[in-house]
Chain A
């Protein structure tokens, strides 16, 4: 390692390490010799495996972030959260009515929300967590599904919630009910599926499959391209 690289000190679970100043929390852990199994995943902010809590020097606040997306700071105190336990009922999505009643049955704690907004403040995705929980409480599942869509299930909301709601599981139920029952159906898709089931493309497909490479190449380079500017 080049000595010139600027270093900062961080405290990983209380123990001091010197790491490059440009590190993310995740690369700082690896630079310090930790071989990660839990607390690491996609490394690009999509999987929610690396939820981390930290404090900054001379600051009382507990902050939350994704280890792969958060750059270290001098004096940072770091601890990763390996797993977040939350209530997860079993259901058959095709048999559920998309109404508030089902949430009252499966996730009654949702209705204990105190309105403190700690969940939203804890969210590394900046999701308005409390707003989607409130949408569920009103029975507005479309709104809840939309507001919660960028959730990556890191679980920080649930850990910080004084009402002990498992927001991320509530969110997926709202999304699935919206997607399967409430969203308007695509007529085009239904028709296409029917055509395929009836074997409408079988003949044409068999023909193109039997086409030799030279002829296929010609078809390909001569095919027309749909403009498709916008939808």
Chain B
């Protein structure tokens, strides 16, 4: 239920709706508002995108990307002490607790796909994950997955859309893999039993997303990520002879051998605080993104575990990063009610014809610009033009007119296509089939990550990366539906190539932690306080009035040590 002071603005949204509906019907939905030119995009991004704010970036001072400007909060966790003391662990390295061919770190769809393909390639697989198998940003994805399956579309068109969305900074070989593998991934997922939305004749339902020139957004209602990952997880559980899963077991450091190859990891039982040495011939990093770093104080759509751990571990082992200066703010995060602040409102709402309008009920931007452009336009509308709607807690928001969907398509569409959204708002007394949602950009995605090639290899032998933790696929801006695609396409590739590498590896050399020791020396030189530790593993939501009373001698990141 919206507070009474918003009613006047809500009335205006209703009053302008018939005219907006008429334009959409007569001119077509792609013509309801002019899309921006290249120059206009550039301008709004520079002036309003959070990445361009002063202090948003800092030059990282140590490691392979030293001297490069990256997101400030990321620089901070890179310039941090390790959680473990290498000298304490050195004697344990001679007797690994577990051995495997491929170690997968992370339990989202990238990690799950990697585990399945590595197993299929003939490798023994150990999958460790900080929370439960399936706990990830993957499971939260709502709107869809892109794949050029329609006759009027092609992987080449998909390639062009991705490059344009990323402002042409994307790594071409990754985009090629993404677009060309997409239909193959959809075939694979279908064979495993994912229920994509279909028409009665079997044709896959496709819609537009921001920045698509053809309708190629496939979906599983608005539970797309869950619909995919639940199947991958079930399949892993069915192959438990050769894929061992350890829940609540984060990796806290990588292990290397004398030839500078990654050769395993130290993992921690998150509940008993035991540490285990895992020797692996290859490691696939599939740890996801960074939302829980709350860059620039933004709320986030991300899972509790999204703390950038994989970038930290890989970087310490010498892996290069790409585009870690770029964070995606999703245009439509909920701002009201307060309990769901920052929660994702899927782009599918706009894909179905939903319109963002200001406090006067007027459209001010084409609804499906690429995400960074759309988000910047929302911020401009609120901060520069003063056309936002203030919430009781002092946030600003834009109306996302969802009820118009029922008239553009047909009554019942919202209930059928957006059950998660309906449920989310209904819990707080808002019926999105009748009232708009109040939204504002929210921290959503790590655009950059570990630099990999199309085989998911980093510059360190034995270390692979797949999914949100990898950088380069999206340039500095991802389009909707390409993350579900990235995690499955590159998860599969990482699993396959890591397994092939592992199975061909003959000689196993003694393990060491020299890289951690060397990195710590650099951290010491910078004079970093001992309390600053990474990977942080969990975000810190304990209020200060509790901490004052805890009298704990020290914290390891947010987890008490």
Contact = CB atoms under 8 A, between A and B. Distances in A.
B195 A183 contact: yes
Contacts of A220: 160-161, 163-164, 168
A32 B234 contact: no
Nearest to B428: A71
A225 B28 CA distance: 11
A209 B172 contact: yes
A231 B419 contact: no
A179 B195 contact: yes
Interface stretch (A7-15, A56-64, A84-92, A113-121): A84-92
B231 A179 contact: yes
Contacts of A153: 230
A93 B237 CA distance: 12
Interface of A: 1, 22, 24, 27, 30-33, 35-38, 40-47, 49, 69, 71, 88, 90-94, 125-126, 145, 149-150, 152-153, 172-173, 175-180, 183-193, 196, 201, 204-205, 208-209, 213, 216-217, 219-221, 223-231
A212 B304 CA distance: 41
A141 to B, nearest CB: 11
Interface stretch (B144-152, B372-380, B460-468, B512-520): B144-152
Interface residues of B, number: 100
Given A188-B149, A220-B163, 18 more contacts: A36-B304, A44-B340, A49-B131, A49-B135, A69-B424, A90-B240, A125-B423, A149-B221, A150-B221, A189-B149, A189-B190, A189-B204, A192-B149, A201-B180, A205-B176, A221-B37, A227-B30, A228-B29
A33 B552 CA distance: 13
Contact of A145 (B191, B195, B270): B195
Interface of B: 28-30, 37-38, 131-132, 134-135, 137, 139-140, 148-157, 159-161, 163-164, 168, 172-173, 176, 179-180, 183-184, 186-187, 190-196, 198-208, 213-215, 220-221, 223, 225-227, 230-231, 234-235, 237-240, 248, 270-271, 301, 303-305, 338-340, 343-344, 409, 419-420, 423-424, 427, 538, 541-543, 545-546, 550, 558-560
A93 B238 contact: yes
A176 B183 contact: no
B225 A186 contact: no
Contact of B140 (A47, A91, A223): A47
B193 A180 contact: yes
A94 B558 CA distance: 44
Nearest to A93: B193
Contacts of B204: 186, 188-189
Nearest to B393: A22
Contact of B235 (A27, A46, A93, A217): A93
A208 B240 contact: no
A196 B424 contact: no
A44 B343 contact: yes
Contacts of A180: 190-193
A169 to B, nearest CB: 8
Contacts of A177: 193
A42 B135 CA distance: 7
Contacts of B545: 1
Nearest to A145: B195
Contacts of B541: 27, 30
B183 A184 contact: no
Contacts of A92: 238
Contacts of A126: 423
A196 B223 contact: no
A44 B152 CA distance: 37
A94 B148 CA distance: 26
B428 to A, nearest CB: 8
B190 A205 contact: no
B303 A47 contact: yes
Contacts of A1: 543, 545
Contacts of B423: 45, 125-126, 150
Contact of A189 (B168, B187, B344): B187
Contacts of A49: 131-132, 135
A225 B159 contact: no
A227 B200 contact: no
Nearest to A231: B205
A111 to B, nearest CB: 21
A45 B420 contact: yes
A22 B215 contact: no
A219 B37 CA distance: 13
B223 A192 contact: no
B248 A38 contact: yes
B176 A209 contact: yes
A44 B132 CA distance: 16
Contacts of A229: 28-29
A149 B149 contact: no
Contacts of A201: 154-156, 180
Given A186-B204, A192-B148, A196-B155, A150 B303 contact: no
Contacts of B226: 46-47, 152
Contacts of A221: 37-38, 164
A37 B131 contact: yes
Nearest to A152: B226
Contacts of B409: 230
9 contacts: A33-B543, A37-B270, A44-B340, A44-B424, A175-B230, A186-B202, A228-B30, A228-B208, A231-B205
Contacts of A38: 248, 271
A209 B204 CA distance: 28
A34 B541 CA distance: 9
A188 B151 contact: yes
B206 A231 contact: yes
B442 to A, nearest CB: 11
Given A35-B542, A228-B207, A46 B271 contact: no
B33 to A, nearest CB: 13
Contact of A226 (B152, B194, B198, B248): B152
A216 B160 contact: yes
A176 B231 contact: yes
B194 A179 contact: yes
Contacts of B305: 41
